[in-house]
Structure 1
């Protein structure tokens, strides 16, 4: 087992278990994390074995993450995983009974994190802090609401639930992906609004939540009033605004460098260099093994102890327990009851 600090690259694997190439890539010093997808899940026992094998590759262990928000973005949906509501459900509920909605958001966060952690997953890229302007299909009901104050309140409650189960939170997609219709997976979205407008609306959840959010993922969206580069490649957005004006000192993840929204920067090495120079602590390369190999072969950033320590801080501090222990946890049973009533 290799003893190396976490590197700045998060990549993925194809199947239900690690093959020889997977192990070789995960042991590379440039790699610090792995993101899972639905294709990596057959059942609970298999997922637990996979995460155990991934964690065993390195010391300290690689950070294992997943996009597991609820609603249509939930990678694992069977064999004991609760079907979590779309965040819009909580926003609608808030309009009727704010106190109940906040409790349900905490419960959803706890269930989400507890079920993942019981099978060895460290982090979910949630909550979505984008505002629902009614324009973006790719965001849509992933957003809590169109009101920044309601988004901040519900996202903060969800983050409390995550934290109670020992999981950190990741706010996305900074400064906001909800106003543009284009999907950055397949297009290059451009948001023409002035900075002051974005500050008064989309940025407010980040400002109000402050250190309640442990990490941030910038959007692959261009805001030409601020910079010609997408936010995740922009020192103005990451260093001057997020780190500077908002005083955010947590982890910054790039969004997936293989997405079309990143293509304006160049090839995958140029994209990683631009994200790193902008201030991202970890870059993601998903669903593109050839690009992941090209990146770790061709990009050799100087070691950065501060950035490595930030990424390492996202690893859970203590084991959560397995599925048997989870079933006996009264906090989980109570939270599950709330979530199931919400989705009934």
Structure 2
């Protein structure tokens, strides 16, 4: 795997066009990420994931954002409408054990649904806090307003996914919940003191620091480094993410095409790798942008390669599973929330 690039790319449509095939074959990315624009149905999606792996000639990780709620690329009526994280957070306030079991079952079902179409990495769980007065971009995607439920429910989500052979990605490390702006649209600045952030925002990520992968937050934490967003801050990556939080898994950027970041796409990638990220994520499928990201990407070696191999291996053995029974049990557990 020594020739593989430190990049994950999206693609434009429902199938690969000749230019994409040639680019991906040459760029040799570590993985791909899919969105609603790439999804028409079960047969098409299954063909596409096979086509992507055939294109690079190996069992490449294929990612998707399938959290449930409003962040779900696979949608009804073809796929189950999985609940948003807040539904489990609400149950946790009434019955902690039921909420943990429901979260585990829901994510085991998600894994089952994803593996059926060749997807084996889920950009979930969200380990950010839901904070009143912050931008709504996190909102009901969070498992709670305090670290404890997020840590417990995030752990259950990871366990459910991995039992189904799907590797989880905790996001958005070291914490997006306090941001008062959407990093898709602009660069948020969090002014709160480091000590407060350690006790609150960073705490769920510390509890889940054995996750195989994490995705960064494009956020400036002014009390730690007021000159760069976490994705491109060596101070944040080394001292907070690797040091204080203790995360030693594969660290990928959030989408490089988000408006929170500045500079050319080559510069965005180079700054992120220099700060200590292992992997560059580019999502929109724009060929010119992807070519520029490829110029800034590095070939995986050393510690980056070790982390990438460990992350790929987290797409492990699929445990025996009865999806109908699991969905029935999940619905029974969630009934007190809706009943």
Give 3-state SS (helix, strand or coil) of 2:125's partner. coil
Please name the residue that 1:313 is paired with: 310
Residues 59 and 244 (structure 1 numbering): CA distance in 2 closer, same or farther, change over 3 Å? farther
Unaligned runs of 5+ in 2: none
1:230 is aligned to 2:229? yes
Name the stretch that deviates more: 174-183 or 4-13: 4-13
CA RMSD of aligned residues (A): 2.0
Paired residue secondary structure (1:173) = strand
SS in 1 for 2:33: strand
Q: Where in structure 1 do 4 or more consecutive aligned residues deviate above 4 Å?
A: 316-321
Aligned with residue 282 of structure 2, among 277, 282, 285? 285
TM-score normalised by length of structure 1 = 0.91
Which secondary structure state, in structure 2, belongs to the residue aligned with residue 28 of structure 1? helix
Contact 1:189–1:222, Cα closer than 8 Å, also in 2: yes
Q: What is the rounded CA distance, in whole Å, between the counterparts of 1:163 and 1:46 in structure 2?
A: 25
Pick one of 266, 269, 274 that aligns with 1:269.
Answer: 266
Cα deviation digits, residues 27-51 of structure 1 (max 9, x gap)? 1245221110001111101100000
TM-aligned CA deviation for residue 240 of structure 1:
1.8
Aligned to 1:90: 88
Q: Is it true that 1:332 corresponds to 2:323 in the alignment?
A: yes
CA distance in 2, matches of 1:305, 1:78: 43
Counterpart in 2 of 1:104?
102
For the 8 Å contact 1:43–1:78, the answer to whether it is kept is no
Q: Is 2:217 aligned against 1:219?
A: yes
Which structure 1 residue ranges, 5 or more long, are not aligned? Answer: 322-328
Q: Secondary structure of the residue that 1:35 maps to in structure 2?
A: strand
Q: How far off its partner does 1:62 sit?
A: 2.3
1:295 equivalent among 289, 293, 296 = 293
Give the deviation of 1:279 after TM superposition: 1.3
Q: How far 1:252 moved relative to its partner?
A: 0.3
What secondary structure does 1:311 align onto?
helix
What SS is found at the alignment partner of 2:242? helix
Residue 330 (structure 1) shift? 4.1
Q: How does 1:46-57 map to 2 (within 5 A)?
A: 46-57=44-55
Write out aligned runs for 1:21-60 (5 A): 21-29=19-27, 31-60=29-58
Q: CA deviation at 1:166?
A: 1.3
Residue 4 of structure 1: how far off its partner (Å) = 6.3
Aligned residues: 331
Q: Which among 62, 65, 68 is matched to residue 64 of structure 1? A: 62
Secondary structure of the equivalent of 2:201?
coil
Deviation digits for residues 208-261 of structure 1 (CA, Å, limit 9, x no counterpart): 2231x2211110011111112101111111112211223221110100111011
- Alignment partner of 2:260: what SS? helix
Q: How far apart, CA to CA, are the structure 1 residues paired with 2:126 and 2:199?
A: 18
Q: Please, which moves more after superposition, 9-18 or 45-54?
A: 9-18
CA contact (8 A) 1:4 1:60 kept: no
Compute the TM-score of the two structures, normalised by the length of structure 2: 0.92
**Cα distance in 1, alignment partners of residues 311 and 298 from structure 2:** 21
Corresponding position of 2:259: 260
CA distance in 2, matches of 1:124, 1:172: 11
Q: Given that residues 165 and 320 in structure 1 are in contact (C-alpha distance below 8 angstroms), is that contact kept between their aligned partners in structure 2?
A: yes
Q: Which residue of 1 aligns with 2:137?
A: 138
Separation (CA, whole Å) in 1 of partners of 2:273 and 2:306: 15
Task: Give SS of 1:273's match.
Answer: helix
